A and B are shown apart, each in its own frame.
Chain A
Amino acid sequence: MPYSAEISRANPTCFLFLIDQSESMNEPIGGGEVPMQKAEAVSDAVNRLLSELSIKCAKEDGVRDYFHVGVIGYGAKVGPIFDGALTGRDLVPLSEVAAQPARIEQRPRASTRGGTALAVKVPTWFSPVAFGDTPMCAALDLAHDVVGRWLAQHPGAFPPIVLNITDGESTDGNPSSAAESLRALTSTDGNVLLFNLHVSSDQSDPVVFPSMEGTLADDYARLLYRMSSPLPDDMRTAARRHGLTPADGAHGFAFNADISSIVQFLDVGTQVMDLR
């Protein structure tokens, strides 16, 4: 059965984030209490996810390398966007990610004990950028190279998950065939999973994990839908735990996502079953 490989230190999987850094990511996003730029909302959500993954995999003998993770940006440039000691690296074992955030901020948080404000440490690995076009084809091609190389070293892995987060149309051509080539990469446990998350400035309701393209608003949404892999069964189950109701055949795609649906989407996309 595909998508059932054990995820362990001996047999890790990987997550690769592709983040649109084009000019329009400067615009505000819907859904949050405080107005926020799309670029900032996405950067916050992905940095938080890297932090949560590190905490989830931390044991007394260190952070366990169940995952290798990478973040590629596409805008004025296309390439890995880790800052600090990880600059220039694509897929990095989680223990190294945890050990080398670019910055750790101390933010106050409300205390439950006696009103003393305790600090919480907030690590970040990259900063929001919004400048240039939307070279999505080039980003998908780079993802193909990076994931292809990783699969050559990890042929039995739970298939890599690529999460493409964008707010606009590709400016370097139709990304369908680049997406298809990426999804065609396989491990012995199944094809690479490509999920697409469209973030929106408008206030219309998000569509998360649709199962039919006919219900989508326009050609562009339908294109992203077709580019997205169907959700494996375990991820559909995870989505239901988040209160979503993906039908059979639902795709790993969200359209017009607001802040809360970005977080929900990332949680489901990265919630990987049994860690060993």
Chain B
Amino acid sequence: MRAFVTTLWVPRAGSSVAQYEDAFYPRSDGARHARRLRFAVADGASESMLSGLWADLLVRTWCKARRRRLPQILELAKGAWEVELAAYLEERDRNERPIQWFEEPGLEKGAFATLLGVAFATDHDHTGGQWEATAVGDSCLFQVRDGELLSAFPIKSSSEFDSTPKLVPSRTCHTDKVLAAADVERGEWHSGDTFFLATDAVAASFLAAYESGSAPWEALAAVGPEAFPAFVASLRNDRSLRNDDVTVMRIEVA
């Protein structure tokens, strides 16, 4: 299969690029060819320390894990987290910025993030294939074919978003609970389909627009990375997009 990937992202208004806590993988735009391809987005929780780092570890681990399943991916990501956390603590120490009392509980508790990963496989005739998506939390996948929304996963209605999504923790032994919270969906892709992987603010706006009769994928298919910040600013201005980090990975498959 061939997938042409474009990721549109912008931090919440008032935050710098360094404070952006969504994550996506692969990091670079462009065409990819393979029989199997994996993509992921994640959204680090605002109220945890280093949640952008954890979101990034989750999407990388998901995409590099090839045929591994979620339990193994979580164990790998948690192992990577401990390594990164140790490096972070060492760096703080080296820079003579000791951990403060108000940072200790958050670092001990670990970070939290949503995760949405999708794996594509190609049929022998190369004109289509299957996809399987796994989600913990409210980052969403949308599949569009011939100008119609074919799938919305795991959330199907804009009213389902709230401020307490399911999250993947970086530091807990209760993997069973995370696995129980995971939703899985499978479908077929055809050449010409477009998939969007979106974090919650833009996913909620997408579904709200769809429910009011619009075709929000049209604007998202037309906009490029350079015009995206202005596009987001205008949506935020007319209050149809919550001020949050925004990430949309557009995947055109053939």
Interface residues of A (CB under 8 A from B): 6, 8-10, 51, 54-56, 58-61, 63, 98-99, 101, 104, 121, 123, 273-276
Contacts and interface: CB of A to CB of B under 8 A. Distances in A.
Contacts of A55: 102, 105-106
B213 interface: no
A58 B103 contact: yes
Contacts of B103: 58, 60
A275 B47 CA distance: 9
A101 B100 CA distance: 12
B95 to A, nearest CB: 12
B163 A104 contact: no
A8 B14 CA distance: 8
A59 B102 contact: no
Nearest to A63: B102
Given A276-B12, A276-B14, A58 B102 contact: yes
Contacts of A63: 102
Contacts, number: 44
B240 interface: no
B46 interface: yes
Contacts of B105: 55
Interface in B132-157: none
Given A6-B243, A273-B163, A276-B244, A60 B50 contact: yes
Contact of A98 (B12, B100, B244): B100
A58 B244 contact: no
Given A55-B106, A273-B163, A276-B12, A104 B19 contact: no
Interface in B70-89: 88
A52 to B, nearest CB: 9
Interface string B93-122: 000000011111110000000000000000
10 contacts: A6-B243, A9-B14, A55-B102, A58-B103, A60-B50, A63-B102, A101-B101, A275-B46, A276-B14, A276-B244
A51 B47 contact: no
B49 A59 contact: yes
B101 A121 contact: yes
Contacts of B14: 8-10, 276
A58 B243 contact: no
B108 to A, nearest CB: 10
A8 B243 CA distance: 10
B243 A56 contact: no
B49 A60 contact: yes
Interface in B215-249: 242-244
A110 to B, nearest CB: 15
Nearest to A9: B14
A59 B44 CA distance: 12
B101 A123 contact: yes
Contacts of B19: 59, 61
B119 to A, nearest CB: 31
Nearest to A101: B101
A98 B102 contact: yes
B152 to A, nearest CB: 23
A58 B12 contact: no
Contacts of A61: 18-19
Contacts of A56: 47
Nearest to A276: B243
Contacts of B242: 274
Nearest to A61: B19
The 8 closest A-B pairs by CB, nearest first: A121-B101, A54-B102, A58-B102, A10-B14, A98-B102, A55-B105, A55-B102, A276-B243
Contacts of A9: 14
A58 B163 contact: no
Contacts of B18: 61
Given A98-B100, A123-B101, A58 B106 contact: yes
A51 B12 contact: no
B12, B46, B104, B244: most-surrounded residue (chain A CB, <10 A): B46
Contacts of A275: 46-47
Contacts of B47: 56, 275
Contacts of A58: 49, 100, 102-103, 106
A51 B243 contact: no
A170 to B, nearest CB: 36
Given A8-B243, A58-B100, 15 more contacts: A6-B243, A8-B14, A55-B105, A56-B47, A58-B103, A59-B49, A60-B88, A101-B101, A104-B101, A121-B104, A123-B101, A273-B163, A274-B163, A276-B12, A276-B46
Contacts of A104: 101
